[in-house]
Chain A
Amino acid sequence: MTPPLPLARRAFLKQSGLAAATAAATLILPSGLRGANAPSRKITVGIVGSGNIAHSHYGKLLGEQESVRILAVCDVDRERRDEGAARVNRSYGTADCKAYADFRELNRRSDIDAVFICTPDHWHALVAIDAMRNGKDVYIEKPMTLTIEEGRAVVAAARKHHRVAQHGTQHRSMKRFHDVAEYVRNQGLGKLERIECFIPPNNRHVGATWKAEPVPAGLDWEMWLGPSPWRPYSSLGCHYNFRFISDSAYGQVTNWGAHYLDIGQWAMDADAGGPVAVEGHGEFPSSGLFSNATKVNFTVRYANGVPMTCRTRHEGGGTSRFIGERGWLDISRNRMTASNPDLLREMQASGKKIQLELSNDHHENFLACVRSRKKPIADVEIGHRTTTVCNLGQIAMVLGRSLKWDPAKEEFVGDAMANRLRGRAMRSPWSLV
């Protein structure tokens, strides 16, 4: 296990008088030299996957230049990795940030402390496990994994290698989501009756058939596919659109469901468990490249009988609505409403019996935990359990039947076919092992 970094960056700079010196890029040293006498306290970072999501991380991390240094960028698309590395180097005024085509090379650099995983979903587990095996802490974009089996393997790797592993469900670090979850946990709404989550539609359509295209120069298509079943390249099914193809992701169920269902899990005190039953009826396209549900409708049910639904809403975006005997609260990233304004006032009151951990910045929380070795606000077990809820909904919709789930054993009860959908074999040479 990497020893903890004993000093916060700012405190260290103040004590050592190195503030000006560390503004230069030359003081970045390997993680093996991060001990108490090391001249640098910057957390060194690699970013794997350099698309839209990664650029939101660039923006954040490049704004933390006193405490973080991005040393490497990886993408199987040359244009994307070069663009990512160039952005980093422009910001630092150096040429130190290196671009990689293969994440394994990045993960094997001994001078990188943490890896941000921003690939398509079908790669999350493998990149994370390899990074942790190589001593890196990881920030894994949501959904944490594609399958339930992968999620459990990621948690096992984090524990085995004593790694800090944060799931990229940043609602956990937004105060209003925290406040709602805490209020519900304290019975602020009285007895909770149900949770209703809405997610945006899966509204891409590219026709009933599609044509293979030549692989663009600079794109390693075999590596882009990685563990997912082989198919020829099509620009319609690469980059952002991967999420509409079930070989790579589960559409908005995992894209937005991972956020809104996550707050339901938090409010239900189910971060180490989950629901005990699920039923669902999705509408899936029977032709075309895209295979994920265009209309989502599933309900998970917890042991106390409280149901949480997840449905497509064609207008209005995603929300989580908590409905109790005293009224309801509806929360999204942009707004919070209630059946009665008194509920919102009560929610802000201090001195609640149950107090949930408060984080106001998901990146800061992760970086602080990299230093302290504490578990982050969205530790991988929490991420795995939330991603499992997404998977339960997906599996119930695929099968179109009610299922019982044992959250302790992570097994469906009495449904062999459903249990087979918890995982899938990977394309050679990849494997969870």
Chain B
Amino acid sequence: MKILVALKRVADPANHNKVKIPASGDRIDTAGLEWQINPFDLYALETALRLTENGKNPKKREGEVVVLTIGPKETETNLRSALATGADRAIRIEAVDEELDGRLVAHALAKIVEEEKPDVVMMGKQVVDSETNMVGQVLAELLDWPMATFAATIQEQPDGLLVEREVDGGVAKVKVTLPAVVTVDLRIVSPTSVRSKHTEAGFKYPYEEVRFAPLPAIMQAKKKPLAIKNLSELTPDLKSTTRYVKYEAPPGRKAGIKVKDVQELVQKLATEAKVI
């Protein structure tokens, strides 16, 4: 199976207080931000690796995992990191962050899919910066491919993927034929959430996160191919159609109060918080 994994770099969510908005409110000041791959996209990478291996022998890749990102040259570090984790090769689409929106990214991905012809395009269900949750869906529409979003488990079957999706009030099972677009949720990295046809029944991954990059693999990652494309060549007639009117920081959290007993708590929940 050949899987294309789309990764986006985001400001480290653990350091969100470094995100600064200038008084003009016309942009986010990105100077000094620490970048990392969107956590949900890392889960997608881990999922792709699990789908293309026998869990007992993760060093042998059964198929191909291609990672892709759109952004400036610095994002190549994120791609190298993904290659060290186990992906086979990488593609970077040269672009400036500010000129992108979800629709444009989906169109660029569609162009790459035409060239690469993967069996699955995989990514996180959403990015933790803009929280747009749209690229996977728009891409599936552009390609006219089946899609499964919010995947919590994936089982490879002879004729496609059986995906369990987390929805309000339960789990929806979806069978997609290939090629398909899949976006993944948090629980996809649980020990038994992903079953490739190579992995024995009953095998459990001993971790619930994206795997660590072993040191020798980091060195080998320098030799893995990293192709560079230009956004303007892939989507010459398109521009971002999203216009940001103003950025504002959310209001700071107010200090809490101490209540003296349960009675006062219940009373305040009813009269002040109005939640009961």
Do A and B come from the same complex? no
Residue numbers of B with Cβ under 8 A of A are none
List chain A positions with a Cβ less than 8 A from chain B.
none
